[in-house]
């Protein structure tokens, strides 16, 4: 298990994450393929708020957020698939560990352009997705 997998500046705070892919309950979800059942918001965001904002990562969850770090919002429509690739938790967030999964989105929206996309774990229990074990999925 990695101690720290990444550091992210988000909403004025430096969030630090650790890889929890091998930990319960996350390990059982890695490799699952989830079908979007209801529109799910994808939020592009930047780690540094500057004049010419560039998207650094995508956060996927409802209802979502707004703020100066936001670069775009789009709805992932029913029929879109998300493959759960790895899991992480925040190690220095004040109120929540904010568990989330890095996902591969198909079809990938052009706005993503290969950037990392993260699904909040709460989205898995809200009737927005139907997940099953992936067949032949690469990790």
Q: What is the mean pLDDT of residues 36-55?
A: 90
- Note whether residue 69 is domain-resident: yes
- Note whether residue 117 is domain-resident: yes
The number of distinct structural domains making up the chain is 1
Going by pLDDT thresholds of 50, 70 and 90, the confidence category of residue 95 is confident
Q: Which residues constitute the domain of residue 105?
A: 28-85+97-132
- Cβ(43)–Cβ(73) below 8 Å: yes
Residues 82, 104: Cα–Cα separation, whole Å: 6
Give per-residue pLDDT as tens, 76-94.
999 999 999 999 999 998 8
More confident residue, 97 or 20: 20
- Note whether residue 40 is domain-resident: yes
- Note whether residue 110 is domain-resident: yes
Question: Would the pLDDT of 126 be above 80?
Answer: no
pLDDT of 103: 98
pLDDT of 137: 47
In order of 2, 9, 33, 49, 55, the CA distances from 130 in angstroms are 29, 31, 8, 35, 28
- Note whether residue 20 is domain-resident: no
Give per-residue pLDDT as tens, 50-62.
777 899 999 999 9
More confident residue, 97 or 137: 97
- Note whether residue 125 is domain-resident: yes
- Note whether residue 66 is domain-resident: yes
What percent of the chain lies above the pLDDT cut of 90?
64
Going by pLDDT thresholds of 50, 70 and 90, the confidence category of residue 135 is low
Across all residues in the chain, what is the average pLDDT? Answer: 86
pLDDT of 15: 83
- Note whether residue 103 is domain-resident: yes
- Bridging pattern class, strands 117-120 and 57-60: parallel
Question: Would the pLDDT of 139 be above 50?
Answer: no
Q: What is the largest CA-CA distance in the chain?
A: 44
Q: Which residues contact 88 (CB under 8 A, 6 or more apart)?
A: 5, 6, 17, 18, 19, 20, 21, 99, 100, 101, 102, 118
DSSP state of 132: E
């Amino acid at each position: 298990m990695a101690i720290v997998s990444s550091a992210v500046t988000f909403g004025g705070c430096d969030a630090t994450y650790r890889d929890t892919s091998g930990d319960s309950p996350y390990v059982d979800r890695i490799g699952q393929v989830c079908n979007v059942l209801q529109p799910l918001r994808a939020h592009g965001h930047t780690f540094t708020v500057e004049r010419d904002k560039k998207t650094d990562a995508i956060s996927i969850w409802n209802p979502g957020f707004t703020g100066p770090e936001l670069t775009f919002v789009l709805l992932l429509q029913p029929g879109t698939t998300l493959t759960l690739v790895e899991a992480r938790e925040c190690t220095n967030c004040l109120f929540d560990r904010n568990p989330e999964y890095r996902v591969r989105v198909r079809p990938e929206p052009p706005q993503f352009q290969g950037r990392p996309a993260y699904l909040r774990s709460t989205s898995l229990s809200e009737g927005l997705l139907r997940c099953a074990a992936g067949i032949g999925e690469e990790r």
